[in-house]
């Protein structure tokens, strides 16, 4: 597929929106044009109806004027002149309004010219009759001559012609408006039906395309899932193979460590035993330098033995399976300090332990951890009076931290990066004995319990070790 999936779907959806929108806009334009024609036809029809109304108004005013004059001449009563005079006042504006309504008609100018001429002719004849009547002339002869009727009939004929023509035009315009309305309805309905059918066809086509795209995507995802499962199976097979190899290597390493420790201990015991026998049997004949060298030989053998013990312990800590149970760290720390006091009962050390510190983890490893940390605190406070060792817990950002703090010799933080590496020492062996394995063992125990350990110290002001046991919290 040349396009990426999101672009493809956006393109299809965009077409699904733009095409119906374009069709609807086209339909709206056509309907607006048809509706405009319909409105114009209705307006022309209304204009024609208005012209007819004004024609009837002019006709009625002329009739009022004629009948009023005739009644006055026959009866001599002034009351009959009221409609004559009233119609005479309104007739000019009515004729103007009629002329305005007929504006735009092709014959309008000829009609209005004829109407005005015949109207003025009748007005002159009426004035003549009134003048004869008021002067006592033979006005009746003028009436009997039928001249007035002839003039009024001419006006009526003109009005009838205009009326007939206007009615015919009004009828035609009404028919045109009706036809335009029907055209709008039929065209709108047909166009709506066509657009609906087109949209239905287009939507079905888009849905089919989307379904095909979805099917293809689903097939690709299924293929990728199969490939992922195959890769996962291969990875599990490799992990199993590596685990088997690692287990075999651990067993081999354990066997090697046992052999090394056993093989090294035998000559060490022999060296120490021969040195001790030499001291006991030949002490009087040995020079002071010989005695010093034998003592150093025994001390070196003892240190070598301790180093082998510490390395074996570090190896066991790394390989041992972690047993998880709730452990009272306070009781464990009390036991460790009690053993330290028994070894050096003359030491004046103040110990402050927070009671009730519980954690989940391996009790054997926790004991090794506290033996090393509290043993270090005991050792590095040996050269100062008022020694103080603390073991307590504090919470930092919701995580409990266990703290071992002393006021001993401390160390330079510039070398803190090497603190937990094997065989690294912060002090000379002549000042404080040790193999440099203890803190490396402590760090591995903490890591086996998925915790972290850190140290803060100041030379001459003591050291503080903080560690967490996140998976071992009680």
* pLDDT tens per residue, range 11-41: 766 766 677 677 777 777 877 777 787 788 7
In percent, how much of the chain has pLDDT > 70? 94
Domain parsing of the chain, residue ranges: 4-214, 323-468
pLDDT band at 6 (very low <50, low <70, confident <90, very high): low
User: Is there a contact between 369 and 388 (Cβ–Cβ < 8 Å)?
Assistant: no
Distance CA 372, CA 313 (A): 12
Q: What is the Cα–Cα distance from 168 to 48, expressed in whole angstroms?
A: 9
Res 233: pLDDT: 92
Average pLDDT of the segment spanning 368-389: 90
pLDDT of residue 335: 93
Structure tokens at 223: 């293929």
Tell me, yes or no, if the pTM score tops 0.85: no
What's the rounded Cα separation, in Å, for the pair 165 and 159? 10
Q: Supply the pLDDT for residue 12.
A: 66
Residue 1: per-residue pLDDT: 43
Higher confidence at residue 455 or residue 316? 455
CATH architecture of 4-214: Up-down Bundle (1.20)
Q: What is the pLDDT of residues 433-446, one digit of tens each?
A: 777 788 888 998 99
pLDDT digits (tens, 9 = 90+) for 292-319: 888 888 888 887 887 787 777 777 777 7
Domain 323-468 has CATH 3.40.220.10: no
DSSP 3-state helix, strand, coil percentages of the chain (rounded to 5)?
Answer: 75, 10, 15
Q: What is the pLDDT of residues 403-441, one digit of tens each?
A: 999 999 888 888 877 888 777 777 777 777 777 788 888
Alpha helix (H) residue ranges in 283-347: 288-319, 329-343
Helix (H, G, I), strand (E, B) or coil at 3: coil
pLDDT digits 0-9 by tens, 73-117: 888 888 888 888 888 889 899 888 888 888 777 777 888 888 889
Neighbour tally for 204: CB within 10 Å: 10
CB-based contact 121:150 (threshold 8 Å):
no
56 torsion bin: left (phi>0), alpha (psi -120 to 50), beta (else): alpha
């Amino acid at each position: 597929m040349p396009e990426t999936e999101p672009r493809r779907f956006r393109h299809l959806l965009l077409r699904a929106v733009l095409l119906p929108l374009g069709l609807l806009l086209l339909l709206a334009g056509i309907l607006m044009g048809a509706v405009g024609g319909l409105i114009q036809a209705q307006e022309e029809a209304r204009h024609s109806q208005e012209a007819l109304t004004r024609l009837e108004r002019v006709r009625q005013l002329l009739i009022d004027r004629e009948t009023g004059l005739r009644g006055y001449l026959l009866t001599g009563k002034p009351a009959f002149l009221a409609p004559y005079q009233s119609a005479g006042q309104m007739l000019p504006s009515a004729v103007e309004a009629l002329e305005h309504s007929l504006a735009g008609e092709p014959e309008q100018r000829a009609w209005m010219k004829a109407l005005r001429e015949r109207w003025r002719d009748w007005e002159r004849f009426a004035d003549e009759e009134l003048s004869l009547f008021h002067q006592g002339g033979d006005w009746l002869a003028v009436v009997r001559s039928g001249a007035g009727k002839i003039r009024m009939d001419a006006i009526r004929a003109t009005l009838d012609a205009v009326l007939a023509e206007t009615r015919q035009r009004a009828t035609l315009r009404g028919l045109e408006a009706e036809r335009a309305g029907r055209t709008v309805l039929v065209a709108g309905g047909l166009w709506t039906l066509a657009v609906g059918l087109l949209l239905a066809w287009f939507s079905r086509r888009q849905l089919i395309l989307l379904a095909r795209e979805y099917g293809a995507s689903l097939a690709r995802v299924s293929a990728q899932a199969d490939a992922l499962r195959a890769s996962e199976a291969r990875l599990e097979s490799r992990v199993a193979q590596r685990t088997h190899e690692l287990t075999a290597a651990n067993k081999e390493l354990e066997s090697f460590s046992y052999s090394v420790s056993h093989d090294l201990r035998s000559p060490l015991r022999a060296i120490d035993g021969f040195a001790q026998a030499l001291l006991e049997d030949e002490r009087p004949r040995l020079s002071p330098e010989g005695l010093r060298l034998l003592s150093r030989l025994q001390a070196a053998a003892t240190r070598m033995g301790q180093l082998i013990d510490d390395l074996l312990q570090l190896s066991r800590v790394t390989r041992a399976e972690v047993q998880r149970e709730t452990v009272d760290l306070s009781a464990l720390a009390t036991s460790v300090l009690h053993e330290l006091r028994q070894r050096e009962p003359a030491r004046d050390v103040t110990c402050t332990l927070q009671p009730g510190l519980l954690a989940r983890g391996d009790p054997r490893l926790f004991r090794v951890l506290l033996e090393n940390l509290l043993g270090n605190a005991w050792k590095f406070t040996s050269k100062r009076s008022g020694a103080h060792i603390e073991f307590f817990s504090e919470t930092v950002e919701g995580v409990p931290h266990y703290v071992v703090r002393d006021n001993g010799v401390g160390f330079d933080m510039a070398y803190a990066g090497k603190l937990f590496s094997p065989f690294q020492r912060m002090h000379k062996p002549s000042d404080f004995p040790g193999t440099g394995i203890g803190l490396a063992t402590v760090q591995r125990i903490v890591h086996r319990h998925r915790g972290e350990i850190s140290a803060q110290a100041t030379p001459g002001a003591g050291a503080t070790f903080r560690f967490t046991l996140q998976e071992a919290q009680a």
